[in-house]
């Protein structure tokens, strides 16, 4: 990471950095490669979920993040383990990039007792407390104030943590975004609003939902530092997030980051749906040429940091982890019906 000699904010953070996912260690050595590995891993996981979805073992809606991997990688790798994220219905990549447990996630999709929610939530409620994935919430905009409230608690307790609210381009149409942004600005809370603009709310394009104006104005109007960047450029996402994190830790308040990207697959489910009429194949192709994973691979190859041998090693290691996680999920028992009365 760029600031190797920065003192970790707490002893706990220092310990956490040497444990867990290995992201922190990777980051220290080689940021571009760490971003690439994170994105490649998420891509392979989502593709494997899509491939196996027809088996009817994952019996819950899935909102895949294929095409949007640079945002989760760039944002989450700029955070420390004790920082908290709150995600949305499209939560897989956020959860995984932040260090969420893959086995617990897949087991949850399979409705198993070993799932991160014990089979109570499905794919839209995944969370992992040790990893700092506070919550994922499926109602558009609903998690934005929850992340803001986490930031309020951090400020009230004087702890140097940061909270991130992931949101989509439609969430800024919800009043609750503005309510949370206003409060965060008034109280200078350590929260970062990360707007992943993938241009569609389900099948409805941004242009019929909002005036043709930059999304970032919606942060600025609340007095919040707001920037827009290429959401398919993981390094750009990382550096803007890191700047926002530094501002938040310094007590300088919230940020609003808009990352333009594109959802490759259908809103919900494992398929491509460019044929059903709400967007064109040509539009999809222009975005696929700017594949965040491919762009980073090409860059690493140009810099001599990635070759065919290294790529095969990475894929083998990632795929082995994924297969092992699916084996775990499939082998885990379903929860017992009597358990549903617990925690109700």
Partner 1 sequence: MREPASAPRRLTAAAAILEATAQCMQADARVYMMGEGVADPKGIFGTTLGLVERFGPERVIEMPVAENGLTGIAIGSALMGQRPIMVHQRVDFALLAVEQLLNNAAKTHFVTNGVHKVPLTVRMIIGRGWGQGPEHSQVFDSVFAHAPGLKVVMPSTPYEAKGMMVAAVRDDNPVIVLEHRWMHYAEGDVPEALYETPLTGPARVRSGDEVTVVASSFALLEAIEAADHMAAAGVGCDLFDLRVVRPLDLTSIIASVRRTGRLVIIDTGWKLFGVGAEIAAQVTEACFDQLKCAPVRLGLPDQPTPSSRGLARSFYPNGQILAETVAKMIPDAAHRLAEPIKALEALRLRVPVDVPNPAFRGPF
By the criterion CB under 8 A, which residues form the site for partner 1? 84, 86, 117-118, 120-121, 125, 127, 129, 134-135, 137, 139, 142-154, 156-157, 163, 175-176, 178-180, 182-183, 186, 342-344
Sign of CA dihedral 35, 230, 95, 268: negative
Instruction: Classify residue 195 by burial, with Cβ atoms within 10 Å: 0-12, 13-18, 19+.
Output: buried
Nearer to partner 1, 175 or 277 (CB): 175
Contact 94, 85 (CB under 8 A): yes
As measured in angstroms, the least distance from the Cβ of 193 to partner 1 is 12
As measured in angstroms, the least distance from the Cβ of 60 to partner 1 is 13
- 28: helix, strand or coil: helix
Contact 93, 237 (CB under 8 A): no
As measured in angstroms, the least distance from the Cβ of 197 to partner 1 is 21
d(CA 170, CA 149): 21
Nearer to partner 1, 26 or 79 (CB): 79
Query: If you ran DSSP here, which 8-state letter would residue 174 be given?
Result: S
DSSP 252-316: ---EEEEEE----S-SSSSS--TTSSSS-HHHHHHHHTT-HHHHHHHHHHHTTS--HHHHHHHHH
As measured in angstroms, the least distance from the Cβ of 110 to partner 1 is 15
Nearer to partner 1, 43 or 222 (CB): 222
- 165: helix, strand or coil: strand
As measured in angstroms, the least distance from the Cβ of 39 to partner 1 is 28
Nearer to partner 1, 86 or 234 (CB): 86
Nearer to partner 1, 186 or 298 (CB): 186
Nearer to partner 1, 142 or 301 (CB): 142
As measured in angstroms, the least distance from the Cβ of 139 to partner 1 is 6
């Amino acid at each position: 990471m760029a600031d190797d000699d920065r003192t970790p904010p707490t002893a706990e953070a220092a310990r956490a950095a040497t444990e867990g996912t290995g992201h922190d260690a990777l980051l220290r050595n080689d940021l571009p490669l760490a971003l690439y590995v994170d994105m490649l891993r998420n891509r392979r996981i989502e593709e494997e979920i899509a491939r196996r979805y027809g088996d009817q073992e994952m019996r819950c809606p899935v909102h895949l993040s294929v095409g949007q991997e640079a945002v989760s990688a760039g944002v989450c790798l700029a955070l420390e383990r004790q920082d908290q994220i709150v995600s949305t219905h499209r939560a897989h990549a956020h959860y995984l990039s932040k260090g969420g447990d893959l086995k617990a996630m897949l087991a949850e999709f399979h409705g198993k007792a070993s799932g991160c929610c014990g089979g109570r939530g499905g794919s839209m409620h995944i969370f992992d407390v040790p990893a700092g994935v506070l919550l994922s919430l499926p109602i558009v905009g609903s998690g934005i104030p929850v992340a803001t409230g986490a930031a309020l608690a951090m400020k009230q307790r004087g702890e140097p943590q940061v909270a991130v609210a992931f949101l989509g381009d439609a969430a800024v149409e919800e009043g609750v975004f503005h309510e949370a942004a206003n409060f965060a600005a008034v109280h200078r809370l350590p929260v970062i609003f990360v707007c992943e603009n993938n241009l569609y709310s389900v099948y409805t394009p941004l242009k019929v939902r909002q005036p043709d104006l930059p999304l970032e104005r919606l942060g600025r109007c609340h007095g919040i530092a707001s920037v827009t960047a290429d959401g398919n450029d993981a390094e750009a996402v990382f550096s803007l997030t890191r700047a926002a994190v530094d501002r938040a830790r310094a007590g300088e308040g919230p940020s609003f980051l808009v990352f333009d990207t594109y959802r490759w697959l259908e809103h919900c489910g494992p398929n491509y749906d460019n044929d059903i009429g709400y967007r064109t194949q040509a539009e999809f192709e222009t975005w696929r040429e700017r594949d965040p994973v491919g762009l980073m691979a090409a860059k690493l190859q140009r810099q001599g940091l990635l070759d065919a041998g290294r790529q095969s090693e990475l894929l083998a290691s990632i795929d082995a982890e994924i297969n092992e996680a699916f084996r775990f999920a499939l082998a885990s028992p379903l929860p017992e019906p009597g358990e549903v009365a617990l925690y109700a």
